[in-house]
Structure 1
Amino acid sequence: MGHDGPPQHQVVANDLRRRLASGEWTAGEKLPSRARLALEYGVGPNVLQKAQERLIVEGLLKGRAGSGTYVAKPRERRRMMRSRHRERGAGSVFHADMAELGGTNTWEARSYARMPAPTDIARRLGIDPGDLCVQTTYLFLADSEPAQLSVSWEPMTITGETPIVLPVMGPLAGRGVVERMQSIGVDITTAVEVLRPSRPTQKQANLLGINPADLVLVIERTYLDVDGRAVETADITVPDSRWDVAYEFGIDPPQ
């Protein structure tokens, strides 16, 4: 292979992806050894390894320590419900989705206090840019596979002097925003969501195990209390290739 054009590992990854799509190797089948494929493509072992690692991140291949590289089974496409009854329940909306689907769910989260609100976040929260917030980042896992990301912002003027200031610590650590806010006398009555198709950043793609060229759906969610005050806003990033996002509405009968 020459050295002009795209990097060698990208060329190899593209061709392996084509061969997988054509059915040359089926789900669960072991690929030829890296040494054999490297010889076939005329590249070094490190180039072949980097190409396969790219496809492992994309979920097309799966490595088994001491055994080799196998064709991964297609990931199941699931439905993520957005509805009023999800928001009224205790715990997270994601937990409710997974309970209905019969799957397991976990998440990793980290909170950062005294973070100045960026301009767009300040606009959504109705505060001044630079006002202090708690930012919490989440990685949600469905059956041990990355499912969605979320970055949440809460004004410290609301939670700063309370036991729930850090969503990942305190008496209600890991509970949903609605339940946490209710514990300090803040009743959330409305959730406003704006949906935007997008492409992930490289960091988001790495965390979700997808290609940076893949589509994601970004759900810009803002919670409002009974007085219409924004008390939390979040960007929820969902891989389009794995999830259908569905909305459920109650219909009032005609009067």
Structure 2
Amino acid sequence: MPSRRQSIAEDLRRQIAAGHFKAGERLPSEAQLAAHYTVSTPTLRNALALLQGEGLVEKIHGSGNFVRHPRRRTTYTGGRPSAWTTPSAPLKSTVHARHLQARDPLTTLLSVAPGTSLTEILCITHEDRSPHSLSRIYIPRDLMPAGLPTPAEVAAHLTDPRPPLTEVRETACSRLPTQEEASTLRISTSLAVLSITRVAIDTTGRVVEAALLVYPGDRADALFITSHPTEERTPRP
């Protein structure tokens, strides 16, 4: 038998699917919903948390709970030097850069000594006004322009890195977001994210970029293609 929170979530889910609550519309207040379903506020919030985890409802601090617009799906294609993904249509991006000194786990990812000067590039893509994905890219400072790079310089480096790359190692996993990631992306801490760690290596074996990419699971797919060489066979006599 379903619990009370599951029954409430199912009823709200049905009303959203039927269009009773439309995309972008604010749901009744938590107090109103708790009174309507004759449950305590914590039980009502647990029911809403189920819908938030599914990506159906978005809770905006100070404003309430809103029915979410369907998010544009983004396909991440592996093995590329660029931090950008291949969306179905262009997304807007904001880019911020700063200098910092390497500490764990960056020292391990970049194979550098503690205190090595790095440039951190924070990239947040947006769909309309809603955050869509989050990327943190770390590059040895000597490989970037002097001073803080401009967005144009960042884009140029990521599109055509110098020196050229010979290898890109990627690790992908599904996990729950950190509190900071959930706040930045405006998602529930119960919504799984696709987390990708990418390490790029040049012809000398030096790690020239480490990227930490985070995509909410309700709007991301990953595509990896492995090509196998074919050998020409000599016909048998």
Q: TM-score range by the shorter chain?
A: 0.7 to 0.9
Equivalent of residue 148 in structure 2, options 163, 166, 175: 166
Gap change, CA 1:33 and 1:152, over 3 Å in 2: closer
* Compared CA separation, residues 172 and 39, structure 1 to 2 (3 A): same
Q: Is the 8 A contact 1:29 1:70 kept in 2?
A: no
More displaced 10-residue stretch of structure 1: 169-178 or 68-77: 68-77
Correspondence 1:203-218 to 2 at 5 A: 203-218=180-195
- CA change 1:80–1:16 in 2 (3 A) is farther
Query: Superposition pairs for residues 72-111 of structure 1, below 5 Å?
Result: 72-75=68-71, 77-83=73-79, 86-87=80-81, 93-94=84-85, 97-98=86-87, 101=88, 103-111=89-97
Question: CA separation in 1, counterparts of 2:95 and 2:204?
Answer: 29
Q: Does 1:177 align with 2:158?
A: yes
Contact 1:58 1:211 in 2 (8 A): no
Cα shift readout 1:168-195 (whole Å, capped 9, x = no counterpart): x17524335252x33xxx2223211112
Alpha carbons of structure 1 residues 13 and 158: separation in structure 2 relative to 1, 3 Å:
farther
Provide the C-alpha distance between the structure 1 equivalents of 2:94 and 2:211, rounded to a whole number of angstroms.
16
1:145–1:16 distance in 2 versus 1, CA, 3 Å: farther
Distance of 2:129 and 2:77 partners within structure 1: 20
Secondary structure of 2:205's match? coil
Unaligned runs of 5+ in 2: 233-237
More relative contact order, 1 or 2 (CA 8 Å, 6+ apart):
2
1:249 maps to 226
TM-score by length of 1: 0.68
Calculate the aligned-residue CA RMSD, in Å. Answer: 3.8
- Name the TM-score, length of structure 2 as normaliser: 0.72
Classify 1:129/1:15 alpha carbon distance in 2 versus 1 (closer, same or farther; 3 Å): farther
2:72–2:219 CA contact under 8 A, matched in 1: yes
Percent identity between the aligned chains? 24
Alignment of 1:1-255 (within 5 A): 16-21=8-13, 23-26=14-17, 28-30=19-21, 33-34=28-29, 36-41=32-37, 59-61=55-57, 71-75=67-71, 77-83=73-79, 86-87=80-81, 93-94=84-85, 97-98=86-87, 101=88, 103-113=89-99, 115-142=100-127, 144-159=129-144, 162-163=145-146, 166-167=148-149, 169=150, 172-179=153-160, 181-182=161-162, 186-254=163-231
Alignment partner of 1:107: what SS?
A: strand
Which runs of no fewer than 5 residues in structure 1 stay unpaired? 1-11
How far apart in 1 are the matches of 2:172 and 2:67?
A: 33
SS in 2 for 1:18: helix
- How many equivalent residue pairs? 220
Deviation digits for residues 182-232 of structure 1 (CA, Å, limit 9, x no counterpart): 3xxx22232111123321111211222322122222211111111111111
For residues 63-88 of structure 1, the C-alpha deviation after alignment (integer angstroms, 9 at most, x for no partner) is 9xxxx9764454454432224xx54x
Contact 1:92-1:176 at 8 Å conserved across structures: no
